Amino acid sequence: MIRHPDWHDRLATYLDNVSEEPFKWGDHDCALFAASAVQRMTGVDPAADFRGQYDTYKGATEALRKHGAGTLLKTVRDWFGPSISVHLAKRGDLVMRDARTLGVCVGQYSWFVAQIGTGKGLIALPTASCAYAFTVPFEALS
């Protein structure tokens, strides 16, 4: 998995397209939002096995056990390797506020699918407030 040469544009277009999309389990939740961003940047969908497998929180938990590494954090580690310091996260990397909330870094801020209030659209939160960050590769890992 490596980023396309025009990954910046692909990521920006994706974020614009989903900026008002409401949170929905199994369609536009935090894991599928972040995995879709990775798919746009690289052409590889790390969450392909999860799509269409759940539509509730309980179903997501079961899908992580069946198709992932048991938890969202462990599954993301399987996809991208060990986490890096959030202070090293760059645009297009994935971040987690806690072990259950996945987002996309765009620099000082990271985008997350809103699950609070109206539950509509993306919300920006400081990247430095995140607990984990994961590098989406720019080149093939040897």
For the chain, which residues score pLDDT lower than 70?
116-119, 140-142
For residue 96, CA distances in Å to 3, 30, 53, 61, 62 come to: 20, 10, 22, 17, 20
- At residue 112, the 3 state secondary structure works out as strand
pLDDT at site 120 = 74
pLDDT at 118: 58
pLDDT of residue 116: 63
Q: What is the DSSP string of 25-52?
A: TTTBSHHHHHHHHHHHHHS--TTTTTTT
CA distance 24 to 21: 9
Residue from 130, 134, 30 nearest 90 by CA: 134
- Reading the block at residue 138, the tokens are 């720019």
pLDDT digits (tens, 9 = 90+) for 22-53: 999 999 999 999 999 999 999 999 999 999 99
pLDDT at 119: 60
State residue 8's pLDDT score: 96
Round to whole Å and give the CA distance between 69 and 116: 27
CA 122 to chain centre: 12
What structural domains does the chain harbor?
7-134 (3.90.1720)
